[in-house]
């Protein structure tokens, strides 16, 4: 008999499920599986590798390895797998590593929480219904930034400020090869940063399936491989992310419209693309597809990036129109039809036709199918889970983090929230502060913001003083022959304390963290203007913007201190 150690079982039905899977392996004569001991004994034909047994078990979402020679009780104590009764863990059980945490999802919040929880001695069962890695690495940040970068290179080959000395050449776009390159990098990062990390951590058990709450301390997981598994937990983190929201435009349902997921996986560049939306995903992908060869029409219900300082939307709209992107502000489609392979959008001024239609009107939390009511978890009317600053839901012992809550939908916010949730689930007391959250939109020029804009400060009752520095005053922009954009600083009137920075500039994302640190450390514009900044860098624009509060920078020498 070949002995196996198996981790991840939570009930007798798990053992029965594993027994059935083992007995389906060719060459296995019989199998005995014990939930109580976390073990299996398998009779197999000579020549059958034990690897086949391990593969059969791990394929169900459990973990298995050949048993060593330690007595079973000693093995389980060594591995920290002694199970507690269902319910809240005591401080003593936590210090002994007996806390069991269930995590729903495998994206930024889930992974950060799982790793921090195991660092703190807990055992984690992570449940993922789809592809490991969540939105960012699979269908969000990573593939979109690859597409955007490829489009940027195509644009530079087509036109640049140096065309007189470096003649342009119209690029040939081989979308299939770009897609292959994109997907290879996605798969590499998913393997390196998610799959391998999970597989190498013995305190994490991965279940592939869809979870629903039975009550405040247990889940039912419908396994992708078939069957169901009960997961009892002491604490639980919901980190199920969000999906594209689709507006109720008459005629849209049932048409082959794109969300960002389909757009990023498209095998061809459409000749004409219509985009409905005006926020981050809409503007990033609209410009990328335009630069790769699509004729793009962007329909904005209000203005581009209307939630930001109005100057940002104005600058981006001007940049888009200069590239030939049609931006229709204050425009909504009253109807969408699809016939003969074309979309027809009815708008107040008439109609717009397109080969493809991209819907980019925001994202909605993945909370609908979790049976949250069974655990007493409260949500807002539009779907996000209600949490406090420590990521606690209304249900005791259940936490939530990331895009399934009302937190800002950035992967680094989700990861920070997941880490803090894990600290709190394992006996700590951590909160997430977002007052100096830096944000970047990867258009060209880029958009970057941190802290308060003037309107937000006014609503908070703060009197402000602000200055706007156009990029024709920044030496780096001048030598690049690209002075599109500005850097705007908002300071507290009287004290000069920096409150916020908004920038529209090439590589604005590379300067915004400096502004975030300045705000975090309560620096004044005078403090910032006296710092040393390297000459001919875009971040030097922050120093120059700070100097405008007390000087006319046009009257300074190139690098005057």
Q: How far is CA 145 from CA 6, 27, 137, 271, in A?
A: 40, 48, 10, 22
Q: What is the token pair recorded at 153?
A: 């290179």
CA distance 382 to 365: 8
Three-class SS state of 282: helix
Catalytic residue among 62, 194, 257, 399: 62
d(C-alpha 280, C-alpha 260), whole Å: 11
Catalytic: 558? Answer: yes
Cα distance between residue 360 and residue 91, in whole Å:
46
For 421, phi then psi, to 5°, come to -60, -40
257 assigned to active site: no
State the DSSP H helix or E strand holding residue 111, giving kind and residue range, or none if neither: helix 108-119
Catalytic residue among 9, 111, 404, 523: 9
Q: Give dist(CA 379, CA 386) in Å, integer.
A: 5
Extract the runs of DSSP E, i.e. beta strands, from 233-355: 235-238, 242-244, 272-276, 295-299, 326-328, 335-339, 342-347, 350-354
Quick one: tokens of 122?
Answer: 């807990």
Distant-in-sequence, close-in-space partners of 77: CB < 8 Å, separation ≥ 6: none
For the question of residue 236 being annotated catalytic, the response is no
Instruction: Give the side-chain half-sphere CA count within 13 A for 344.
Output: 7
Q: Which of 136, 236, 404, 523 is catalytic?
A: 136
Mark whether 404 is an active-site residue.
Answer: no
* Region at 427 (left for phi over 0; alpha for psi -120 to 50; beta for the rest): left
Catalytic residue among 1, 11, 404, 535: 11
Which of these is catalytic: 111, 194, 538, 558? 558
Give the long-range contacts of residues 212-218, CB within 8 A, separation 24 or more.
Answer: 212/369, 212/370, 212/371, 212/374, 213/370, 213/371, 213/372, 213/374, 213/375, 213/377, 214/371, 214/374, 215/374, 215/375, 216/375, 216/376, 216/395, 216/396, 216/397, 216/398, 217/86, 217/87, 217/397, 218/86
Nearest C-alpha neighbor of 3 from the set 17, 22, 21: 22
Q: Is 559 a catalytic residue?
A: yes
Set 14, 391, 404, 489: catalytic member: 14
1, 380, 535, 559: the catalytic one is 559
* Residue 14 is a catalytic residue: yes
Tokens 């500039």 appear where? 505
Catalytic residue among 1, 111, 141, 257: 141
In 396-547, at which residue ranges do the beta strands (DSSP E only) sit?
Answer: 398-400, 439-441, 446-451, 464-470, 486-492, 498-505
Active site annotation includes 141: yes
Omega prior to 514 cis, within 30 of 0: no
The first and second tokens of residue 87, run together, are 């319910």
Q: Which two tokens stand for residue 318?
A: 């001007």
Q: What is the number of alpha carbons within 13 Å of residue 426 lying toward its C-beta?
A: 26
Q: Is 62 a catalytic residue?
A: yes
How far apart CA 280 and CA 453 sit, in angstroms, is 18
C-beta separation of 203 from 122 below 8 A: yes
Q: Cα 352 to chain center, whole Å? A: 32
Residues 6+ positions from 384 with CB-CB distance below 8 Å? 365, 367, 404, 405, 406
Q: Looking at the annotation, which residues are catalytic?
A: 9, 11, 14, 62, 136, 141, 558-559
């Amino acid at each position: 008999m070949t002995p196996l150690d198996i981790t991840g079982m939570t009930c007798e039905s798990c053992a029965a499920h594993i027994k059935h899977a083992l007995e389906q392996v060719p060459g296995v004569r019989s199998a005995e599986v014990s939930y109580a001991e976390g073990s299996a004994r398998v009779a197999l034909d000579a020549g059958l590798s034990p690897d086949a047994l391990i593969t059969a078990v791990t394929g169900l979402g459990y973990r298995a390895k050949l048993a060593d020679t330690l007595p079973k009780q000693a093995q389980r104590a060594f591995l920290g797998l002694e199970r507690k009764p269902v319910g809240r863990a005591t401080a003593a059980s936590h210090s002994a590593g007996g806390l069991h945490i269930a995590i729903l999802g495998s994206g930024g919040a889930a992974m950060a929480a799982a790793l921090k929880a195991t660092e703190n001695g807990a055992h984690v069962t992570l449940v993922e219904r789809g592809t490991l890695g969540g939105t960012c690495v699979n269908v969000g940040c990573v593939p979109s930034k690859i597409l955007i970068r490829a489009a940027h290179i195509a644009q530079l080959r087509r036109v640049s400020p140096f065309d007189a000395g470096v003649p342009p050449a119209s690029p040939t776009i081989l979308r299939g090869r770009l897609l292959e390159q994109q997907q290879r990098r996605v798969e590499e990062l998913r393997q390196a940063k998610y799959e391998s990390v999970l597989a190498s951590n013995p305190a994490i058990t991965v279940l592939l399936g869809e979870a629903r709450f039975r009550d405040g301390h247990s889940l039912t997981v419908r396994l992708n491989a078939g069957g169901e598994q009960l997961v009892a937990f002491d604490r639980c983190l919901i980190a199920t992310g969000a999906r594209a929201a689709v507006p109720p435009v008459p005629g849209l349902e049932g048409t082959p419209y794109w969300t960002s997921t389909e757009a990023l996986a498209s095998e061809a560049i459409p000749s004409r693309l219509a985009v409905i939306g005006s926020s981050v995903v809409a503007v990033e992908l609209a410009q990328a597809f335009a630069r790769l060869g699509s004729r793009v029409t962007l329909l904005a219900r209000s203005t581009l990036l209307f939630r930001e300082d109005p100057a940002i939307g104005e600058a981006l709209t001007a940049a888009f129109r200069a590239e030939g992107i049609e931006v229709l502000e204050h425009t909504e489609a009253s109807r969408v039809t699809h016939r003969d392979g074309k979309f027809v959008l009815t708008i107040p001024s008439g109609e717009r036709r397109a080969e493809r239609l991209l819907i980019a009107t925001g994202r909605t939390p993945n909370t609908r199918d979790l049976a949250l009511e069974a655990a007493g978890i409260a949500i807002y009317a539009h779907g996000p889970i209600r949490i406090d600053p420590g990521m606690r839901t209304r249900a005791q012992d259940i936490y939530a983090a990331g895009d399934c809550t009302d937190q800002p939908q950035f992967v680094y916010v989700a990861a920070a929230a997941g880490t803090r949730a894990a600290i709190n689930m394992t006996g700590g007391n951590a909160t997430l502060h977002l007052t100096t959250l830096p944000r970047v939109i990867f258009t060209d020029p880029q958009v970057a913001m941190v802290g308060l804009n003037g309107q937000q400060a006014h609503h908070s009752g703060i009197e402000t003083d602000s200055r706007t520095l156009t990029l024709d005053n920044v030496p780096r922009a001048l030598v690049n022959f690209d002075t599109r954009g500005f850097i705007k600083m908002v300071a507290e009137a009287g004290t000069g304390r920096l409150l916020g920075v908004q920038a529209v500039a090439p590589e604005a994302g590379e300067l915004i963290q400096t502004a975030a640190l300045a705000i975090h450390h309560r620096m004044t514009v005078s403090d910032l203007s006296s710092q040393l900044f390297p000459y001919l860098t875009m971040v030097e624009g922050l120093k120059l913007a700070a100097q405008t509060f007390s000087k006319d920078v046009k009257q300074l020498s190139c690098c005057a201190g």
